[in-house]
Chains A and B, each alone.
Chain A
């Protein structure tokens, strides 16, 4: 598929999104035809029907949805369009599913520059192409100026489950190894740095990336994956606490083994943040039997997105429902969820 790199909606005509672009009339039709269908393409969209017809290779499906709000819309390493594709694709991948189809709902704020919308649409299409999913249905609404934050996106995704495993938190058991796919904390710090105008010596880029490939490769290699979880808001700590609590096992994490890049570590020190709780958009944890951990790490490291995979901890029977962190100075403590987002501290 070729992409037109200039905006197909004549800018001089409507340089910004107006209410009529969501009004069901000619302007909306033009936006959908010229910008969305032309860019996302595909057979299902070309039917121009109220719903998409899908061909499914398996009877077991994974189905998920997520909404995306981020300020700024563009940040180092990604943008809202990429997030909306990768986020939902990653949720499918965490069931071990092969992502196939996405829906795309857009809520646009009146006054949004058409060029901004175009850049997001382009990026969304590129992300979809890179992950091998098709955008098969969509929706557009426009809200009054001041009632949105530029663009809100919602994607729902369908994926095919081609394995017989039960990949859930309940499947985690004592004796599992905890594998982390790479360094943590980059997305949260990257977005925050742009939003708050913080400057560090080097630009910190979001880790925003699709995760299906390494997951599917692990399954193809016969790794008996017990649980997968992508680390988004709340970071590594919150993901592990949730799993420990659901599976009623004790997750023992080695702080010294958790990779955090120098610049992220520095930013966290300045802001009083703990990288364990900072958001990621391209990282996951995998729980696999300890005996298969080395092999799983080898498979994951074949892919750029998970080339930093490491075993960072183990699952024991106790303490039930808790995550215990062995700190860098060799002491241990319980890791809890935060009550809200981390707030920069005073001094």
Chain B
């Protein structure tokens, strides 16, 4: 398959791994930001190819993982209302809130549907004028344009029974939160290729400068990730801290201007709570005033308030790269994909789930 197989070539992978070995002289700790990259690293065993000096930490870029637990509770509450058709991307359905997950809400009689695009949810609203359709708008800058488009079109077409439950988050503030933490171990980043396809990478340039960290915009195939690691290690070894673009086949420096304009038209930057991490200022998106009518939290009188998280779960530390999944005392025992304590065990892109799924045999290779 074009654009996939050529980036999964065993010989090329070994060559890149060898290049990394050639260039590395001392230990470096690099964080891949995106959950999709974490998943690929685990699935293809990419870290096995790396020299022992290079440690990969798994970042906060899993939208399922960082969606705060009260948003899940709100989703469950909305899905339980008889007039609501609650639409979501598939992998949000198993994320546990304090009152169960969306799959349980469905089993209890809620009308919960998996959709592949928020525009499908908008169509569902148009086809079902007597119902209220709510779309769970989660994700990073990657999903924001489509969600913005659904709201924009909904307004243009005067659709009054469509709304979104917004939990949008942004990557750059999360990187700053990690870098300014006293526990920070991260010396370089592989930035998320798809996020940068939308946003470009100019906003990473001041971060690289301020914190003196190299940031390499990286794709998701094994060869992308290996090349990203190579570029990052090379910068570290040479004492550089620049933003470089490994994923040039998809990412331009300025990003996709049309998508950005649409995001800016519909959304504004707001403070947002991240599951396991807490509130990060200016780290999320909320609907702007002219689109407030499409905000599910405004439309429905919700009773869910602030919710405390499970104290045993260390997913916040994992998302910040402070700890690794198998360093958690609950990992694989009290916390499994069947009974997750935190979201990093639920999503296939969550670091804990990826470790559990691909490394269960003692996890020796994982350290």
Stretch at the interface among B87-95, B241-249, B278-286, B314-322: B87-95
State whether A336 touches B63 (Cβ < 8 A): no
B1 near A344 with CB under 8 A, answer no
8 A Cβ contacts from B215-257 to A? 222
CB of B99 closer than 8 Å to a CB of A? no
Contacts A333-B45, A346-B138 known; A328 to B90 CB distance under 8 Å?
Answer: no
A336 touching B358, Cβ below 8 Å: yes
Residue of A nearest to B48 (CB): A331
**B46 contact set on A, CB distance < 8 A:** 329, 331
Contact present for A329 and B9 (CB under 8 Å): yes
Report how far A198 CA is from B90 CA in the complex, Å: 15
Contact with A along B39-64 (1 / 0, CB 8 A): 00011111011000000000000011
Residues of B within 8 A of A319 (CB): 361
Residue among A198, A340, A346 having the largest count of chain B Cβ atoms under 10 Å: A346
Q: Does B116 sit at the interface, judged by CB under 8 A?
A: yes
Interface contact B91-A345, CB-CB below 8 Å: yes
Distance to closest chain B CB from A192 (angstroms): 10
| A334: Cβ under 8 A from any B Cβ | yes
- Restricting to B60-102, which residues have a CB under 8 Å from any CB of A? 63-64, 89-94
User: CB-CB contacts of A314-347 with B at 8 A, as 1s and 0s?
Assistant: 0000010010000111111110101110111111
- Tell me, in angstroms, the Cα distance from A334 to B138 when the chains sit together: 31
Binds B, one of A3-11, A179-187, A264-272, A304-312: A264-272
In the complex, chain A residues whose CB is within 8 Å of the CB of B140: 347
CB within 8 Å: A-B pair count: 90
Contact assessment for B1 and A269 in the assembled complex, using a CB-CB cutoff below 8 Å: yes
CB of A262 closer than 8 Å to a CB of B: yes
| Residue of B4, B347, B357 with most chain A CB atoms under a 10 A cut-off | B357
Q: In the bound complex, what is the Cα–Cα distance between A336 and B44 (angstroms)?
A: 14
Q: Is A196 an interface residue (CB 8 A)?
A: yes
A346 to B115 alpha-carbon distance, docked (Å): 10
Interface residues on chain A, size class: 20 to 34
Closest beta carbon of chain B to A123's beta carbon, Å: 29
Kindly list chain B residues whose C-beta atoms are within 8 Å of the C-beta of A262: 1
Scan A130-150; emit 1 where CB is below 8 A from any B CB, else 0.
000000000000000000000
Q: Is the pair B348, A347 in contact by a Cβ cutoff of 8 Å?
A: no
Q: Measured between C-beta atoms, what is the minimum distance from B190 to chain A in Å?
A: 16
Chain A residues whose CB sits within 8 angstroms of the CB of B42 once the complex forms = 333
A252-288 CB mask vs B (1 if < 8 Å, else 0) is 0000000000100110010010100000000000000
- Decide: B89 and A344 in contact? CB cutoff 8 A: yes
Which one of B222, B347, B360 contacts A334 once the chains associate, using CB atoms below 8 Å?
B360
From B44, B90, B138, give the contact of A329 (CB < 8 A): B44
B10 contacts the other chain (CB 8 A): yes
B38: interface (CB < 8 Å)? no
B18-42 vs A: 1/0 string, CB under 8 Å?
0000000000000000001000001
B111 an interface residue at 8 Å Cβ cutoff?
Answer: no
Specify the chain A residue showing the minimal Cβ separation from B8. A328
CA gap between A330 and B12 in the complex, in Å: 11
A329 and B222 contacting across the interface, CB-CB below 8 Å: yes
**Cα of A340 to Cα of B356 in the assembled complex, Å:** 14
Select from chain A the residue with minimum beta-carbon distance to B336: A339
**Chain A positions within 8 Å of B336 at CB level:** 339
B14 at the A interface (CB under 8 A): yes
Contact A334 B90 (CB under 8 A): no
- Contact between chains at B90 and A327 (CB < 8 Å): no
Contact with A along B351-366 (1 / 0, CB 8 A): 0000011111100000
Are A346 and B139 in contact, with the CB atoms below 8 A? yes
Query: Is B337's beta carbon under 8 Å from chain A?
Result: yes
Q: Find the B residue at minimum CB distance from A329.
A: B13
Closest to A320 in B: B361
Contact of B358 among A333, A340, A347 (CB under 8 A): A333
Report yes or no: B13 in contact with A330, Cβ–Cβ below 8 A: yes
Whole-angstrom CA separation of A331 from B42 in the bound complex:
10
Q: Within 8 Å CB of A331, what residues of B?
A: 44-46, 48-49
Q: Report how far A342 CA is from B93 CA in the complex, Å.
A: 11
Contact A345 B348 (CB under 8 A): yes
Return chain A residues, CB-CB under 8 Å to B44.
327-329, 331, 333
Question: Which chain B positions have C-beta within 8 A of A344?
Answer: 89-91, 114, 116
Q: Would B143 and A327 count as touching, CB distance under 8 A? A: no
Q: State the CA gap A339–B357 with chains docked (Å).
A: 10
Report A-chain residues with C-beta under 8 Å of the C-beta of B94: 340, 343
Q: Using CB atoms, name the residue of chain A closest to B221.
A: A329
What CA separation (Å) do A289 and B360 show in the bound complex?
29
In the complex, are the beta carbons of B49 and A347 less than 8 A apart? no
A329-B10 contact given A343-B91, A345-B89, CB 8 Å threshold = yes
Contact A345 B349 (CB under 8 A): yes
Closest residue to B89 on the A side, CB-wise?
A346
How far in angstroms is the closest Cβ of chain A from B242? 26
Docked CA distance A343–B101 (Å)? 14
Identify the closest chain A residue to B359 (Cβ).
A334
For the complex, is B338 an interface residue (Cβ under 8 Å from A)?
A: yes
**Distance in Å: Cβ of A310 to nearest Cβ of chain B:** 18
A346 touching B63, Cβ below 8 Å: yes
The contact sample of 19 A-B pairs, CB cut-off 8 A, is: A196-B116, A265-B1, A274-B43, A319-B361, A328-B8, A328-B44, A329-B46, A330-B10, A330-B14, A331-B46, A331-B48, A331-B49, A333-B44, A336-B358, A336-B360, A344-B116, A345-B89, A346-B143, A347-B143
Other A-B pairs, 13, CB within 8 Å; known A272-B91, A331-B48, A346-B89: A196-B114, A262-B1, A269-B1, A328-B10, A328-B44, A329-B9, A329-B45, A329-B222, A331-B46, A334-B359, A336-B356, A347-B139, A347-B142
A-side residues, CB < 8 A to B, are 196, 198, 262, 265-266, 269, 272, 274, 319, 322, 327-334, 336, 338-340, 342-347
